[in-house]
Amino acid sequence: MNPVLRGVAVNPSTPEPLLLRLSERPDLAHSLLGRADLPPSVVERLSVDPRATVRRRLVAHRSTMDRVRAALASDPDPGVRAEVAGPTQLWGEPPLTTPVAALPALAADPEPAVRAAVAGNRLTPVALRLALAADPDPEVRRRTAFGGLPTETLHRLVGDPDRAVREAALSRARIDAPTETIPAHLAEPFLAGGGWYRETAIAMVDLTPALIGRFRDDRPALARNPSLPADLMPGFLDVAPALAENPALPAAMLETLVATMDPEVHRELLRRTDLPDGLRRRLLAADEDDEPLPTVTSLRHGEAGLAERLSYLDHPNPAFRRTLALSPDLPPAAVHALAADPDWPTRLLVCERNGDVVAPEVLAEVATTHPGHSRWDLLRNPRLPVEVAVRHLADAADDPLARQAVATRPDTPPDVLVRLLDDPDPGVGFSAAANPGLPADRLRALLDGDDLLLREAAAGNPALSAEELERISASASGGPS
**Predicted pLDDT of residue 481:** 39
Q: Which stretches of the chain drop beneath a pLDDT of 70? A: 1, 89-92, 394-395, 478-481
**What are the backbone angles phi and psi of residue 56, rounded to the nearest 5°?**
-65, -45
Contact status, residue 124 vs residue 104, Cβ threshold 8 Å: no
Would you mind telling me the total number of residues written for the chain in this entry? 481
Go through 64-99 and write b for each residue having 16 or more CB atoms within 10 A of its CB, e for each that does not. Answer: beeebbbebbebeebbbbbbbbbbeeeeeeeebebb
452 CB neighbour count, 10 Å cutoff: 13
In 3-state terms, what secondary structure has residue 311?
A: coil
In 3-state terms, what secondary structure has residue 182?
A: strand
**Predicted pLDDT of residue 398:** 82
Contact status, residue 144 vs residue 132, Cβ threshold 8 Å: yes
Distance from the first to the final alpha carbon of the chain: 5
143: number of CA atoms within 13 Å, CB side?
24
Contact status, residue 408 vs residue 431, Cβ threshold 8 Å: yes
Q: Distance between CA 155 and CA 190 in Å, rounded?
A: 13
CA 417 to chain centre: 32
**Predicted pLDDT of residue 479:** 47
In 3-state terms, what secondary structure has residue 167?
A: helix
Q: Distance between CA 270 and CA 294 in Å, rounded?
A: 7
The answer to whether the predicted template modeling score (pTM) of the entire model surpasses 0.75 is yes
In 3-state terms, what secondary structure has residue 81?
A: helix
Strands (E), 238-331: none
Go through 278-316 and write b for each residue having 16 or more CB atoms within 10 A of its CB, e for each that does not. Answer: ebbeebbbbeeeeeebebbbbbeeeebeeeebbbbeebe
Contacts of 367 (CB under 8 A, 6+ apart): 351, 375, 378, 379, 381, 384, 388, 389, 392
- Where do the structural domains in the chain lie, given as residue ranges? 248-354
Tens of pLDDT, residue by residue over 122-180, are 889 999 999 999 999 999 999 999 988 999 999 999 999 999 999 999 999 999 999 99
Q: Distance between CA 314 and CA 334 in Å, rounded?
A: 10
- In order, the DSSP letters of 218-247 are -HHHHHH-TTS-GGGGGGGGGGHHHHTT-T
Tens of pLDDT, residue by residue over 262-318, are 999 999 999 999 999 999 999 999 999 999 999 999 999 999 999 999 999 999 999
Q: Distance between CA 139 and CA 144 in Å, rounded?
A: 8
For residue 205, the cross-strand partners are: 182
Residue 469: which of 2, 39, 7, 36 has the closest Cα?
7
Cα angle: 367, vertex 369, 373; to 5 degrees: 65
Q: Distance between CA 148 and CA 121 in Å, rounded?
A: 10
